[in-house]
Amino acid sequence: MIVGVPKEIKEGEFRVAMTPGGANALVADGHKVLVQCGAGAGSGIADDEYRKAGAELVAEPQTLYERAELLMKVKEPLPSEYPMLRRGQMLFTYLHLASSEELIRALLDAGIIGIAYETVQTADFRLPLLEPMSEVAGKMASQLAAQYLQKHYGGRGVLMGGVTGVKPAEVVVLGCGFVGANAVKVAAGMGARVSAFDINTLRLAYLDDTYGSAVTSLYSNSWVVADAVARADIVIGAVLLPGARAPWAITEEMIKSMRPGTVIVDVAIDQGGCVENIRPTTHAEPIYVEHGVTHYAVTNIPAAVPRTATYALTNSTLSYARKLAALGAEKAMAEDPALALGLNLADGLIKHDAVHEAFPHLA
């Protein structure tokens, strides 16, 4: 099979879908791997490293899209990429379709087989291709929030860990899956006072067992959340209902109750956001202020640490990519139920229930 790895063109996106080691494994399996020139540059990977791994370097994206049977990407295609997609071509990437009707329509028109990293799910309900980026984004969320809490960034001017005789920052984390638990880890590690909310008591029990009294775990409902965020310095949103649009865990009323300079980091923005009326931001302009509260809602946080993120991503996607390349979409999915749950689009139709529920009027 011909596997294509284009250069990502989304603003601020420096990751690439495959490391030279991953390309080499596919080549060893007998496949041809096409890598667009400069695709790895943002992650500090030179074209020559791909060449040494056995990949073929391709100058023009048009040529790569035309020849590839399996396209490996990081982010969803942008409008300039839509015309290059081919009917029946496999597209294996983060799609986040529940947040964009325009994208769904474009991909249905293109007739691709869309397999979304974020909905590949194992029998024990793990999301193995979301986990590595969630770990990165969760750790980054606390790191970034600490930065925006500084006065010259418009924050309340509170130090995460406080100092002797002065209390630390109050951090609220909503949703304690992979993102949330990693945000808790870094915030608690910096010495902040952390309240962690979830509706899954197993996640809360994990935090209790891990951190004891250093982290307060709380069952999430809007009453207790409203009380906590009004007193918080930092609110990190990380709730997820797999494949579906994120629920609004933070309402506008709650935001109005927060103190000026409080920082919200809505990591769930790639699924529409768990903060009412939040707008996606970019690495170029990561924050805006509304009701005196700093909002950070970058949809591709891991792109800020591409070297770490690219390697973590390939570590997780490679085994599935090898299966798709060896067997083709239909057989690979028949053999692997986790991969089958990644199928979002095929034959011009939506194939994932949660995506369908988000846009019931579409095919």
Ligand X SMILES: NC(=O)c1ccc[n+]([C@@H]2O[C@H](COP(=O)([O-])OP(=O)(O)OC[C@H]3O[C@@H](n4cnc5c(N)ncnc54)[C@H](O)[C@@H]3O)[C@@H](O)[C@H]2O)c1
**What are the tokens at 289?**
């202020």
Query: Residues, the chain, total?
Result: 363
Minimum distance from residue 286 beta carbon to ligand X (Å): 11
Given the rule CB under 6 A, which of 52-60, 268-276, 287-295, 333-341 is the region that contacts ligand X? 268-276
What tokens does 351 get? 């194939």
Q: Which residues, 6 or more positions from 227, have their beta carbon under 8 angstroms from its beta carbon? A: none
| 136 neighbors 184 (Cβ within 8 angstroms) | no
Q: How many CA atoms lie within 13 A of 256 on its CB side?
A: 4
Between 175 and 214, how does the x/- string for binding to ligand X read (CB under 6 A)?
Answer: xxxxxx----------------xxxx--x-----------
> Cβ 127 to ligand X, closest distance in Å?
6
- Quick one: which segment of 30-38, 70-78, 153-161, 245-253 binds ligand X (CB under 6 A)? 245-253
Among 218, 246, 254, 329, binds ligand X (CB under 6 A): 246
Q: Contact region for ligand X (CB under 6 A) — 28-36, 52-60, 171-179, 347-355?
A: 171-179
Rounded to whole angstroms, the Cα distance separating 194 from 216 reads 6
Residue 134 lies near ligand X (rule: CB under 6 A): yes
Which lies closer to ligand X via its Cβ, residue 198 or residue 233? 198
Judged by beta carbon, residue 64 or residue 120, the one nearer ligand X is 120
The residues with which 195 forms a beta bridge, in sequence order, are 172, 216
Q: Which amino acid is at 263?
A: V
The letter for the amino acid at 184 is V
Tell me which residues are annotated as active site. 96, 270
Q: Which residues pair with 250 in a beta bridge?
A: 275
| 343 bridge partner residues | 115
Please identify the residue of the shown chain whose CB is closest to the bound ligand X.
177
Smallest separation (angstroms) from ligand X to the CB of 247: 5
* Beta pairing partners, 262: none
Site for ligand X in 315-334 (CB under 6 A): none
Answer whether 16's CB lies under 8 Å from 310's CB.
yes
Residues in contact with ligand X by CB under 6 A are: 118, 130, 133-134, 137, 174-180, 197-200, 203, 220, 238-241, 246-247, 249, 267-271, 299-302
